[in-house]
Amino acid sequence: MRFSKYTILLLLSIFLLAGCHTSSNFERQQREKEKIERRMRKRAEKRARKEAKKREKEARKAAKKKKKGKGKDNDYREETRVIERFDMEGRTFTDNKAAVRSRFHFKDHNTTSVEMAKKIGIEPCETREEAERKVKKLNYIESNRYYLVDNLTHSVPYLGDGARDLLYDIGKRFQKRLKKLGYREHRIIVTSILRTREDIARLRKVNGNAVRNSAHLYGTTFDLSYSRFNRIDMEGNMVDNTTMANILGEVLSELRDEGRCRIIFERNQHCFHVMSSE
């Protein structure tokens, strides 16, 4: 069958228009996604500023009470006023061959953990836009003296109260053990936090181990790398990643025995999948 040159030009025009339309839709979706992420960051920053003002006000009140002899030892929330001002990038060291002892290859059942997460966490969000509305019930998680929040690509930095406190305690106990052993100060690195169903769908395209009904959907779960640690102080002896990975394993085992969390050791992703029980 032969086509006239006009027919060929017409067909080419149709193909070009179809290609432009597809490209336009993709660009529009990307713009929408970036717009949502910008709004979420602005809300988080606004909330962080508001909480900072509230903490400063409470700190002034506590200082007055202490001056009068009525002050008591500060708890977690008092101490975070100091660590949240911590602003240091440090230097991250990676060793994908870091060897974690078999006793720290935790294998808590994911199904049971998800059932627990459903009881204490939020309702899962389908999209980032929906998450933007629901994060008011959660806490914004940002880097501080005890942990570094990684560049999150498939999650957003929000956790419930129990998971937030658990993460803080893991980082603090980890550094306390390093100091006791005479090693340099390092931070643990948080690699994943709250995910939407949309995030999980994208993640499954690049990570076959990602499950649809993940505990990350409920604001109760986070991942901690055992192959990467962030050095923030040169005082003390050098320490390798394998040693730190096993120190982190000891801390997690301790908190697990206390009934505060469930854990899955993820060899392929080089992380501990930690699910809060509170």
- List pLDDT tens digits, range 147-172: 999 998 889 999 999 999 999 999 99
pLDDT at 2 over 60: no
Dihedral of CA atoms 175, 225, 263, 41 in degrees, nearest 10, equals 90
Q: Is the pLDDT of residue 92 over 80?
A: yes
Residues 23, 27, 29, 30, CA torsion sign: positive
> pLDDT digits over 241-268, tens only?
999 999 999 999 999 999 999 999 999 9
Contact present, 240 and 103 (Cβ < 8 Å): no
Contact 250, 177 (CB under 8 A): yes
Name which residue leads in pLDDT, 116 or 265: 265
Express each pLDDT in 180-206 by its tens digit.
999 999 999 999 999 998 988 888 777
What's the confidence (pLDDT) of residue 144? 92
Residue 148 sits at φ, ψ, to 5 deg, of: -110, 125
For residue 239, give both structure tokens: 């320490």
CB 159 within 8 A of CB 138: yes
75 compared with 124, residue with greater pLDDT: 124
Q: Is residue 78 predicted with pLDDT exceeding 60?
A: no
